[in-house]
Amino acid sequence: MKAKFQGKEINIRRIGILTGGGDCAGHNAVIVGLLRRITQANQTLNDNEKMELVGLIEGWKALMRDPEKEMNKIVMPLNLLAIEETFKVAGTILKSSRTNLFSKANVEAGVPQKAMDNVKKLKLDCLVVLGGDDTLGAAGKLGQQYIFPMFGAPKTMDNDVYGTEMTYGFESSVEESVHFIENCTTTAKSHNRVFVIELMGRHAGWVALYAGIAGNADVVLLPEEVVNMDEVIAKVEKAKKIKDYGIVVVSEGARLFDTRYPEAVNARHQELLAAVIADPKYALVKARHEMPKKKDSFGNEQLGGIGDYIFSILEKHTTGIEYRYQNCGHAIRGGIAHVTDRILGLRYGDAIFNFMKQNVFGVYPGLEADRIISNDLLEVRGGRFVPQDHQLFAMRNAIENY
Contact 251, 283 (CB under 8 A): no
Which residues, in sequence order, are bridge partners of residue 53?
Answer: 15
Asked about 158 being catalytic, the answer comes back as: yes
Catalytic annotation, pick one of 125, 133, 134, 158: 158
**Would you name the residues annotated as active-site residues?**
158
